[in-house]
Amino acid sequence: MKKSCTLCSTNFQVSDKDLKFYDTVSPTFNGKKYSIPSPDICPDCRQQRRLAFCNERNLYPDTCDMCKKRILSEHAPHLNQVSYCRECWISDKWDVRDYGQDFDFSRPFFEQFYELMRRTPMLALNQTGTMQNSDYVHYTGFAKNCYLLAHADFCEDCMYGYGFKENRSCLDGFYNLHDELCYDCVDVHKSYGLTGCQDCQNCHSSAFLRDCIGCKNCFLCVGMREKEYCFENKQLSRADYEKKLAEIDLGSHVQYQKFSAARKELEKSHHFKEFQGHNLQNSFGNYLYNCKDCYYCFDCEDVEESSYCTQLVLGSKNNMDIYQYGTGLQQSLDSSISGDHSHHILFSHQVLLDCSDIYYCAHVHSCRNCFGSTSINHNQYLILNKQYTEKEYNELVPRIIEHMKAKASPLGELTSNQFGTHFPPQYSLFGYNKSSAQLYYPLTQEQAQDKGWHWDDYETPIPDVAKKITGKALPDNIKDITDDILNTAVECEVTGRLFKIMPLELQFYRKQKLPIPRRSPEQRHLDRFTLRNPRKFWQRQCDKCQKPLITTHSPQTNRTVYCDDCYTKALY
């Protein structure tokens, strides 16, 4: 079925398989199925809605509204959202049902849900498992001595990372899995001692590699397999390689930048594979690993039978339109940051820990059969946080669905009342610019506000510092940096925003002989993000065999792109 998006007019396809999926996950009450209609909005507009609900990277100093402990919160203090620390939120000192309200059939559902969220206490940060000395992390579990991570699990001594799993002593990374002592790396897996590398696996003691597997002691190389002592893609003897390396001092900012730029220059002569990933069966997307029957998915690992999913991991199956994170998620549709063995989650945000049959909810732990409820933990049969019996619940929810369907208009965004898509961005608790949607679908303040979406200019005040220094005024080499840097704020060379160097971080730079960054952590995250291909597809041809390709390598990049077959033949 060909459709035109009611929001952006892009043409998109709804396949028979998609329709079958909508039918399979349509909820049933009292033996009657309430069909989920096929979507009026395109995959990107659907993803944008989900991302607009997620604040993954802006954390603010705050106070727990119950125990008054100093905490960090994803809710900016000026928005006056009541938020609790983890201990208070899970305690029995409060009952979220006290905030419950009756459903008002004279008003749109989304409005009522938004009001409920605004007055219900929320969990300040999302952290799971044992956390040690790791306050400043979000969507993170089992961390020790970590700082500023998002979407990270089982990490130790790591800082400034996004998408970290089982890493030790890694700094400044985007999708680093099972790594140790890696710095400034993007999509690097199972590696040790890498600096400034991208798309590498099973490599160690190397710097400025791109698309390398199984290499060690290599410097400035692209597209290598199982090599040692290569420099600028040339094989050297061990003695020659060591002599060359002895002349290099990456502790110098100038030298670091020079080699970082040299890697990008070298990449111009590289032929890139049409997609990144391995162990794929009948799957289409990018950065996919061990996936089967996946369509239009990105950054997924161990996923089956899923479409339009991003950042799903660990045995997730039969899902559609899910942003993050999986771990045994099944039969779920159009939801964000949900998983951990949850089942049948529809149009919801942050539903985790063995939940099932959750519709239009946000911030849910271990619940079943809830509709339009928020900040709930071990609850059942709630509607707008009000407790019902099973019988009452099964009678009222269908009436609300009919109410939402009746008010639906083909204009989509202009109505706030619609069954079959995630909450529109105007009902997010976060400014559009503070949400992850701004990274993938950037808007100006004016554009966002024209759509009726929130904007939030609040910035955490920089703590009082005795001194400030510009990046340019910093000594070039790490060996000339004194401990005084810990009492000095550095001005980001791009944004002008002040940032601080943390003690653990300084220790890392000194030990690894790396320069002090001249850019703020947020700018560095953005820089790494820009190194990755966008989550978009273009049609082009294999530059070797001319076979037509659909790839995330835009024709504008002037890169040489090979199909999977030609790429493999050229390598070995």
DSSP string, 5-72: -TTT--EEE--HHHHHHHHHHS-EETTEE-PPPPPSS-HHHHHHHHHHT---S--EEEE-TTT--EEE
For the CB of residue 85, give the shortest distance to Zn ion in the complex, in Å. 3
Measured between alpha carbons, how far is 120 from 148 in angstroms, rounded to an integer? 27
Residue carrying the six token digits 């919801």: 348
For the CB of residue 545, give the shortest distance to Zn ion in the complex, in Å. 3
Q: CB nearer to Zn ion: give 94 or 259.
A: 94
User: In the stretch 271-290, what mask flags binding to Zn ion with x, by CB under 5 A?
Assistant: --------------------
Q: CB nearer to Zn ion: give 11 or 482.
A: 11
Q: CB nearer to Zn ion: give 5 or 382.
A: 5
Which residues, in sequence order, are CB contacts of 124 under 8 Å at separation 6+? 62, 64, 71, 72, 73, 74, 75, 83, 84, 85, 86, 89
Within 10 Å of residue 305's Cβ, how many Cβ atoms?
A: 18
Q: Within 487-546, which residues bind Zn ion (CB under 5 A)?
A: 542, 544-545
Q: CB nearer to Zn ion: give 411 or 545.
A: 545
DSSP string, 161-225: EEEEES-BS-EEEEEEES-BS-EEEEEEES-EEEES-EEEES-EEEEEEES-BS-BS-EEEES-B
Q: CB nearer to Zn ion: give 512 or 560.
A: 560
Q: Are 345 and 360 in contact (CB under 8 A)?
A: no
Nearest 10 degrees: Cα torsion 18, 21, 25, 26: 60
- For residue 474, with 0-12 CB atoms within 10 Å meaning exposed, 13-18 middle and 19 or more buried, which class applies? buried
For the CB of residue 59, give the shortest distance to Zn ion in the complex, in Å. 16
Q: CB nearer to Zn ion: give 64 or 490.
A: 64
For the CB of residue 570, give the shortest distance to Zn ion in the complex, in Å. 9
Among 25, 45, 123, 474, binds Zn ion (CB under 5 A): 45
Q: CB nearer to Zn ion: give 65 or 157.
A: 65
For the CB of residue 477, give the shortest distance to Zn ion in the complex, in Å. 45
For the CB of residue 179, give the shortest distance to Zn ion in the complex, in Å. 32
User: In the stretch 4-23, what mask flags binding to Zn ion with x, by CB under 5 A?
Assistant: -x-xx-x-------------
Nearest 10 degrees: Cα torsion 175, 181, 182, 183: 120
- For residue 101, with 0-12 CB atoms within 10 Å meaning exposed, 13-18 middle and 19 or more buried, which class applies? middle
User: In the stretch 46-85, what mask flags binding to Zn ion with x, by CB under 5 A?
Assistant: ------------------x-xx-----------------x
Helix axes 109-119, 390-407, angle to 10 degrees: 120
Answer yes or no whether residue 329 interacts with Zn ion by CB under 5 A: no
Q: CB nearer to Zn ion: give 125 or 474.
A: 125
Among 51, 177, 516, 563, binds Zn ion (CB under 5 A): 563
Q: CB nearer to Zn ion: give 439 or 494.
A: 439
Residue 333, strand partner residues? 320, 346
Q: Are strands 127-128 and 122-123 parallel, antiparallel or unpaired?
A: unpaired
For the CB of residue 547, give the shortest distance to Zn ion in the complex, in Å. 5
In the numeric block, which tokens belong to residue 112?
């009522």
Q: CB nearer to Zn ion: give 8 or 501.
A: 8
Measured between alpha carbons, how far is 65 from 60 in angstroms, rounded to an integer? 14
Q: CB nearer to Zn ion: give 8 or 502.
A: 8
SS (H, E, C) 255-306: HHHHHHHHHHHHHCCCEEECCCEEEEECCEEEEEEEEEEEEEEEEEEEEEEE
Residue 477, strand partner residues? 252
Q: Are strands 83-84 and 70-73 parallel, antiparallel or unpaired?
A: unpaired
Answer yes or no whether residue 549 interacts with Zn ion by CB under 5 A: no
For the CB of residue 543, give the shortest distance to Zn ion in the complex, in Å. 8
Q: What does residue 217 show for φ and ψ, rounded to 5 degrees?
A: 50, 55
Answer yes or no whether residue 42 interacts with Zn ion by CB under 5 A: yes
For the CB of residue 552, give the shortest distance to Zn ion in the complex, in Å. 17
For the CB of residue 50, give the shortest distance to Zn ion in the complex, in Å. 13
For the CB of residue 42, give the shortest distance to Zn ion in the complex, in Å. 3
For the CB of residue 405, give the shortest distance to Zn ion in the complex, in Å. 21
Q: Are 277 and 291 in contact (CB under 8 A)?
A: yes
Measured between alpha carbons, how far is 56 from 521 in angstroms, rounded to an integer? 14
How many residues bind Zn ion, per CB under 5 A? 17
For the CB of residue 68, give the shortest distance to Zn ion in the complex, in Å. 7
Which one of the spans 87-95, 140-148, 246-254, 373-381 is the region binding Zn ion (CB under 5 A)? Answer: 87-95
Q: CB nearer to Zn ion: give 56 or 62.
A: 62
Measured between alpha carbons, how far is 567 from 572 in angstroms, rounded to an integer? 9
Q: CB nearer to Zn ion: give 12 or 231.
A: 12
Q: CB nearer to Zn ion: give 254 or 545.
A: 545
For the CB of residue 359, give the shortest distance to Zn ion in the complex, in Å. 23
Q: Is 126 helix (H, G, I), strand (E, B) or coil?
A: coil
Q: Within 371-430, which residues bind Zn ion (CB under 5 A)?
A: none
One-letter amino acid at 185 equals C
Q: Within 461-480, which residues bind Zn ion (CB under 5 A)?
A: none
In the numeric block, which tokens belong to residue 341?
């063995």
Write out the residues near Zn ion by the rule CB under 5 A: 5, 7-8, 10, 42, 45, 64, 66-67, 85, 88, 542, 544-545, 547, 563, 566
